[in-house]
Structure 1
Amino acid sequence: MVLVYLTITRPDIAYAVHVVSQFVVSPTTVHWAAVLRILRYLRGTRFQSILFPSSSALELRAYSNADWAGDPTDRKSTTGFCIFLGDSLISWKSKKQDIVSRSSTEAEYRAMASTTTEIVWLRWLLSDMGIPLSEPTLMYCDNKSVIQIAHNSVFHERTKHIEIDCHFTRHHLQQRTITLPFVSSSLQIADLFTKTLSSKRFRLLIDKLSMLPVNAS
């Protein structure tokens, strides 16, 4: 599907394309209508692009989120994250999780582990390019239970069904690869990659991604 390739430069359609791409094998009229709506949106925003400022801090920050049991067909959750280098958006993802999560905390933790994996790779890439990062990467999360599990070994032992993800994220927290500041749900930019949003909130988050219209030359 051409739309999948387009998400490489258009993070604003990542979630919508993620949803419709699940029905490529046996689409219905509903799915075709959704694709047409995406195409109409693209036609109306064809000059919208990600802004990469010429001067920006060489620091990573990430937003991690999950929509628990959001898929009505199988009740799997959706992982969403976006990562900035300074003010420039450089990585994002919207993907259904492989298994059904039994709680919102579990879904959020699986999303956090995926985000941590991407952060570790980006930090390695920057270091290989001669830009080592001395400070831990901020990974914003809007679930306080998840943050407590990552910091507290007692909470960690109560979540054996997500033990691998717990160990992985907690290891990098202890190694100061990441830190986990809390962010309110209203400021959670990764919402854009996990669920359907109102037009007002969608436009708000698009602005926070530094996606701006540019004039055609």
Structure 2
Amino acid sequence: MIITGDDFGRTVVGSLVYLTVTRPDIAHVVHVVSQFVISPSTVHWAVVLLILRYLRGTQFQSLLLPSSSSLEIHAYSDADWANDPTDRKSITVFCVFLGDSLISWKSKKQDVVSRSFTECEYRAMATTACEIVWLRWLLADMGVFLDRPTPLHCENKSAIQIIRNTVFHERTKHIEIDCHIIRHYYQTGIITLPFVSSSVQIVDMFTKSHSSSRFRFLLDQLSILLAVAS
């Protein structure tokens, strides 16, 4: 079987997508390049090579899962509003911690175009809330029952106010299903909605590129450590 350049590129990107299961630090950039596997350009291939170079230099970098971590869940949710110039669809990102251990994360383009930052943020929060409910059910199935609500950190005050307000505003017309879902989980005590400023928003790792210092800070907050080879 002959493997063409395009097939090789798709194979490499597919492998990188699989690698994001254990390397959340490359989730954002892999999400971007994976959108161009059908018709890649030299720029996209250059980015793939940069990712491979980064992985070679950080092959001992991994998630820290301490055995002494608590069994409480907390989550962070964010969205990148209409930042893709090709279709103006937003990106949903979230990460969920079990104690100090990062156990779930996602960076995925939303299915529809959002007309405001609040709207896309609300969709991201609804997706994160569903992930929280599933993880709480999974823990309960393993005999770990959580009595306290799960904090869902968000940096958009407007989205938080919409959830807490039972009156539907004009801005919620196109996200009514998500409104019902996340408001139900909030009112039944499954989640709480603490505000977090953008400067300490951990999930910012999955929305955009960063300076080296900011990137290192976010890695530390996500408990992604560079081990020393023995």
- TM bin (shorter chain): over 0.9
1:105-120, aligned counterparts within 5 Å?
A: 105-120=118-133
| Higher Rg of the two aligned structures | 2
Q: 1:42 and 2:55 equivalent?
A: yes
- Identity value in percent: 73
Q: Which residue of 2 aligns with 1:200?
A: 213
TM-score by length of 2: 0.92
1:53-68, aligned counterparts within 5 Å?
A: 53-68=66-81
1:66-145, aligned counterparts within 5 Å?
A: 66-145=79-158
**Is the Cα contact below 8 Å between 1:68 and 1:77 reproduced in 2?**
yes
Q: What's the offset of the Cα at 1:40?
A: 0.8
Q: Cα deviation per residue 1:73-126 (whole Å; 9 max; x = unaligned)? A: 111111110000000000000001111100000010010011011100000000
2:165 is aligned, of 152, 159, 163, to 152
Q: What's the offset of the Cα at 1:155?
A: 4.7
Whole-angstrom distance in 2 between the partners of 1:8 and 1:158:
35
SS of match in other structure, 2:167: helix
Whole-angstrom distance in 2 between the partners of 1:188 and 1:158:
24
**Is the Cα contact below 8 Å between 2:76 and 2:96 reproduced in 1?**
yes
TM-score by length of 1: 0.97
Q: Which residue of 2 aligns with 1:189?
A: 202
5+ unaligned residues in a row in structure 2: which ranges? 1-13
SS of match in other structure, 1:63: strand
After TM superposition, where is structure 1 displaced by more than 6 Å over at least 4 residues in a row?
Answer: none
Q: What's the offset of the Cα at 1:165?
A: 0.5
Amino acid at match of 1:11: P
Amino acid at match of 2:167: V
Whole-angstrom distance in 2 between the partners of 1:72 and 1:204:
28
- Note the aligned Cα RMSD (angstroms): 1.0
**Is the Cα contact below 8 Å between 1:70 and 1:195 reproduced in 2?**
no
